[in-house]
Amino acid sequence: MSPAVGARTAGDPYLPGSGNGGYSTESYTLDLRYRMLTNRLDATATIEAVSTQQLTRFSFDFNRLQAGRVLVDGRRAKSVLSPGKLTITPATPIDSGAAFTVVIEYSGSPAPRRSAWGLVGWEELEDGVIVASQPSGAPSWFPCNDHPSDKARYSIRVTTEQAYTVLCNGVLTGHSVSSGRASWQFEQQQPTASYLATVQIGRYTTTPIELGGVPGTLAYPKEIEARVEADCGQLPGMMACFEEAFGPYPFDGYTVVTTPDDLEIPLEAQGMAIFGANHIDGEGGEERLMAHELAHQWFGNSVGLDAWQHIWLNEGFACYAEWLWSEHSGKESADSLARAARTKLKGLPADILVGDPGSADMFDDRIYKRGALTLHAVRLTIGDSAFFSLVKEWTDAHRHSTATTDDFRALAAGYDESLDGVFEAWLFSLPLPTLPTVSSPASSASPAKSLVKAKSRRR
């Protein structure tokens, strides 16, 4: 590759066509004008970035929409649209280390992007819109550097028919109505990966919910209000439990959207979770999923991935949070749930390396469960006090950043060097290891019942 040409990929072997080299993004300002009836989007994206090399041209991920005028630092630039990419040639080369601004006008009928994991991105509901972009759907609605390692701030303005409510990442800073159309302005100052940026549009009722010191919002169709309020009644307790276990909540608020449509699975976004009507039964039938999605705000959203290979750091922690909540709320203990999960895994093929599962298997449920079992094995090895200190140090050290499995292993080694063998066995060996036995319980500073005596921390 020429040193003056930004690479058309981030080099991630799991999604080799996604992401771009030669720059990092600082912020996205998105002005979206959307017509619900015709699924028509007219938009302007203003992207602030910093070059990491001299650039004569560079690219963004961009799918199915049409680009119009493109400006780089206020000057007209050439652009070429090819499948999945928008390549831009500025009027003059961009120096290495220089900040630059790109303005892209674009339009079209947004649609989800086909991927190995199904349809991802912008998708029409029966009467509304859902955006669920993990892992490669963000280019279905805006030009971006679609790789989890490249986080940026977001300012999103959506204008659509007045009858609809819009929800996006961040804080609602403006709402106005004119000629039957409403504009909604959201600001997300915390760095956000493109797959976690979202727009949700529907005929929603919104009500506040107090989550300790964290502002919360529930959005839902009016007809299922009682079910939503019943099932979300556990959220304040979950927030308190997880803040004690993981550290302070990392964002300005938390929004839970329940769509009128049924969804296959709930979805996380930055500062938000999206559930289908089928997940909310008014009886807490999917309480574990409520805990799982909330936990992603720490693991996956604040502490993000440097590459998709490390997906267990997202899903293993979120799955383990389900078990911690069960234990904290007086139901089945984390140890009991872990041993039941291991028994179930014994009946399944042991053919995935959790620490490097490959793209085809990175959302396999075995990654979730064996990732959670890895954390439980660490907990049993070093004890509750050290384990929860490790977790809090992890979320603090990589708050609003990205990390790798090696980063976690290095941090854990400061607590007990023998953990290296635990990680090798659970993450990088195929045979299913045996969980350590539980010693006599001791008093615990953790939010869950103590399982073992805490070992002293070693540096």
Decide: helix, strand or coil at residue 359: helix
**How far is Cα of residue 432 from the mean position of the Cα atoms in its chain?**
28
Q: Is residue 442 part of a domain?
A: no
Average pLDDT, the chain: 94
Residue at 196 is within a domain = no
Give per-residue pLDDT as tens, 71-111.
Answer: 999 999 999 999 999 999 999 999 999 999 999 999 999 99
Q: Catalytic: 368? A: yes
Q: Is it the case that residue 332 has pLDDT exceeding 70?
A: yes
- Residues in the annotated binding site: 292, 296, 315
Whether residue 317 has pLDDT greater than 80? yes
CATH number of the domain that residue 290 is part of: 3.30.2010.30
Asked if residue 275 and residue 239 are part of one domain, the reply reads: yes
List, as one string, the DSSP characters of 159-214.
EEETTSEEEESSEEEEEEEETTEEEEEEEEEEEE-GGG--EEEES-EEEEEEETTE
| Same domain, yes or no: 319 and 336 | yes
Burial (Cβ within 10 Å: 0-12, 13-18, ≥19) of residue 224: middle
* Higher pLDDT among residues 301 and 4, named by residue: 301
Given this model, what pLDDT does residue 9 score? 83
Residue 255 resides in a domain: yes
Same domain, 394 and 354: yes
Based on the fold, state whether residues 146 and 1 are members of the same structural domain. yes
Structural domain contains residue 435: no
Using 50, 70 and 90 to split pLDDT, how confident is the model at 458? very low
**Which residue is it, tokens 């069960």?**
326
The amino acid present at 414, given as its one-letter code, is G
Q: Is there a domain that residue 459 lies in?
A: no
Q: Indicate if 313 and 386 belong to the same structural domain.
A: yes
Residue 332 and residue 271 in one domain: no
Residues 154 and 11 in one domain: yes
pLDDT score for 446? 46
Output the domain CATH number for residue 317.
1.10.390.10
Same domain, 143 and 274: no
Residue where one domain finishes, among candidates 139, 167, 190: 190
Q: Are residues 414 and 308 in the same domain?
A: yes
Q: Residues within the annotated binding site for Zn(2+)?
A: 292, 296, 315
Q: Is 154 a catalytic residue?
A: no
For residue 452, is it within any domain?
no
156 occurs within a structural domain = yes
Q: Residue 359's pLDDT is what?
A: 96
Q: Is 345 helix (H, G, I), strand (E, B) or coil?
A: helix
Cα separation, 117 vs 359, whole angstroms: 10
Candidates 63, 78, 22, 69; CA nearest to 45 is 69
In the predicted structure, residue 14 carries a pLDDT above the cut 50: yes
- pLDDT attached to residue 7: 77
Strand partners, 143: none
pLDDT of residue 208: 98
Q: Please give the residue range of the domain that contains residue 271.
A: 204-297
Who contacts 56 (Cβ-Cβ below 8 Å, separation ≥6)? Answer: 2, 4, 5, 89, 90, 93
* Cα gap 299→390, rounded to integer Å: 14
Residue 197 lies in a domain: no
Dist. CA 339–CA 323, nearest whole Å? 11
pLDDT band per the 50, 70, 90 thresholds, residue 302:
very high
Is the CB of residue 56 less than 8 Å from the CB of residue 95? no
Q: What is the CATH number of the domain that holds 103?
A: 2.60.40.1730
Is residue 450 predicted with pLDDT exceeding 60?
no
Confidence grade of residue 441 (pLDDT, cut at 50, 70, 90): very low
- Tell me which of 271, 297, 323 is where a domain ends: 297
pLDDT beyond 50 at 445: no
- Rg of the chain over Cα atoms, rounded to whole angstroms, equals 23
pLDDT at 10: 84
* Judgement on whether residues 176 and 209 belong to the same structural domain of the protein: no
pLDDT in tens, 191-239: 999 999 999 999 999 999 999 999 999 999 999 999 999 999 999 999 9
Q: Are residues 73 and 95 in the same domain?
A: yes
In the chain, the percentage of residues whose pLDDT exceeds 70 is: 95
Please tell me the predicted confidence (pLDDT) of residue 96. Answer: 98
* CA–CA dist 16, 400 (Å, integer): 25
Whether the per-residue pLDDT at 362 is higher than 60: the answer is: yes
User: What is each CA distance from 369 to 190, 237, 355, in whole angstroms?
Assistant: 29, 24, 13
Alpha helices by DSSP H, 7-158: none
**Which is the catalytic residue, given 14, 106, 368, 415?**
368
Q: Do 173 and 273 belong to one domain?
A: no
Q: What does the pLDDT read at residue 439?
A: 53
Domain count, the chain: 3
Please pick, among 293, 320, 327, 415, the residue that the annotation labels catalytic.
293
- pLDDT mean over 302-324: 98
- Predicted model pTM: 0.94
Question: How would residue 437 be classed by pLDDT, with cut points 50, 70 and 90?
Answer: confident
Give the pLDDT band of residue 1 (cuts 50, 70, 90).
very low
What are 115-152's pLDDT values in tens digits? 999 999 999 999 999 999 999 999 999 999 999 999 99
